[in-house]
Amino acid sequence: MPEISRFFGIVIKMFFDDHNPPHFHAEYGGDLALIDIRSLAVFSGRLPPRVIGLVIEWATLHQRELLADWDRARAQEELQKIAPLE
């Protein structure tokens, strides 16, 4: 699963040819959550509240890029890295 961003110990990944809805995986420590790109809601797993806040802040800034990477992943194309939250 390609890593598309990393910040504050949070790793953002996306699977190739993954199931709908369009989403990404956010990992922190031993926790994992799947976040819907369009609604920015967690639909599986969990992260600490502060971490989920950072992930949602980052995803809000990069929603178009995430959707573009989702389309690339579905087409089995190389994913683009997305700038971290600073």
Q: What is the pLDDT of residue 58?
A: 98
More confident residue, 5 or 1: 5
Residue 62: partners with Cβ closer than 8 Å, 6 or more residues away: 5, 82, 83
- The answer, as to whether pTM is greater than 0.75, is yes
Mean pLDDT for the chain overall: 95
pLDDT per position as a tens digit, 31-80 = 999 999 999 999 999 999 999 999 999 999 999 999 999 999 999 999 99
What does residue 71 show for φ and ψ, rounded to 5 degrees? -60, -40
